[in-house]
A = this chain, B = another copy of it.
């Protein structure tokens, strides 16, 4: 591999001048710059990241700590993060968590510290992730996706509470009075936030908020709960914590002869690409995960490069109406 020195020899300048060209320093004459650039092209020179990192004490790498990477939300957030990071000249390193817990998070963070990442984006949507991160007291900026952040850690989230509220308010506007919620696990921030939004909307409307069932995000849990519900359905509408559980629920209702939306309306959350092809097509709440990811990196780079303090990013979701909702009979 050619070095700065080799380029310098060919261009007839010092290694430092080559370094200036490579780093876009202002005080280089255009004649010199051209000579150097020609030499760089001729040799196929590439700056050695390790040597550069050694002296700058920056790795130009951002670590992404993720669980549930095969889920629609985290995967797309990762895409946004990657795009913004690469555009800004950063590398993106990942560590996937198989099970979520203090130790697994700590292991992954250690891995990133070994790599000397310049910042960490955390894509672990559990309620106590933020706490664990604060305890670890990391020497680099951290953005926790799915939380509002704290004094030490930046947050970036879709306003799920608001999304849930919008969905439920729509059902109320359609005339529904008994609206249940199939929530995700309460120890997931998404699960509890969406449940809160559901409750907020019902309370504001003076409606009962006692029909709450807990799933685990999977289609299987939606199916199981759907079978139980179908046996003695009291609600005319159900707000479901994510699209996958809604899929399972629809399946269970279909088997039990419960008609959607005639007997019961169903609203999901996420708007994954398949949601429009469920039976029936699912009304749901759309979240722009890529945007969320991009904004994480914006905030992170401000912390890394401009020394900015922690920030709190909020992205607003949007209700998408399809055939699974209708006014009650």
Give min CB distance, A46 to chain B, whole Å.
Answer: 6
Interface membership of A115, Cβ < 8 A: yes
Which range holds the interface residue count of chain A? 35 or more
Chain A residues within 8 Å of B, Cβ to Cβ:
46-54, 59, 61, 69-70, 72, 75-76, 78-79, 82-83, 86, 91-96, 98, 111, 113-116, 218-220, 222-223, 244, 247-248, 250-251, 254, 273-274, 276-279, 281
Contact B91 A111 (CB under 8 A): yes
Residue from B59, B76, B83, B219 in contact with A50 in the complex, judged by beta carbons closer than 8 Å:
B59
Contact B83 A79 (CB under 8 A): no
Given A53-B53, A70-B76, A251-B278, 5 additional A-B pairs, CB 8 A: A48-B116, A50-B52, A219-B273, A251-B279, A279-B279
Residue from B52, B91, B114 in contact with A49 in the complex, judged by beta carbons closer than 8 Å:
B114
Q: Which residue of B lies closest to A223 (CB)?
A: B277
Residues of B within 8 Å of A219, CB to CB, are 273-274, 276-277
Assembly CA distance A19 to B153 (angstroms): 34
Residues of B within 8 Å of A113, CB to CB, are 46
Residue from B92, B111, B244 in contact with A86 in the complex, judged by beta carbons closer than 8 Å:
B111
Contact B93 A47 (CB under 8 A): no
Contact A83 B96 (CB under 8 A): yes
Q: Which residue of B lies closest to A58 (CB)?
A: B50
Give min CB distance, A281 to chain B, whole Å.
Answer: 8
Residues of B within 8 Å of A95, CB to CB, are 82, 86, 92
Assembly CA distance A86 to B112 (angstroms): 11
Q: What would be 29 A-B contacts, judged by CB atoms less than 8 Å apart? A: A46-B114, A47-B114, A48-B54, A48-B116, A50-B50, A50-B52, A51-B54, A53-B53, A61-B93, A69-B75, A69-B78, A69-B79, A70-B75, A70-B76, A70-B79, A82-B94, A82-B96, A83-B96, A86-B95, A93-B94, A94-B94, A220-B273, A244-B273, A247-B277, A250-B279, A251-B278, A251-B279, A254-B279, A279-B279
Contact A49 B79 (CB under 8 A): no
Copies of this polypeptide in the complex = 2
Assembly CA distance A273 to B244 (angstroms): 9
Residues of B within 8 Å of A76, CB to CB, are 70
Contact B220 A277 (CB under 8 A): yes
Contact A220 B276 (CB under 8 A): yes
Residues of B within 8 Å of A115, CB to CB, are 49, 91
Assembly CA distance A274 to B272 (angstroms): 12
Give min CB distance, A12 to chain B, whole Å.
Answer: 26
Give min CB distance, A329 to chain B, whole Å.
Answer: 21
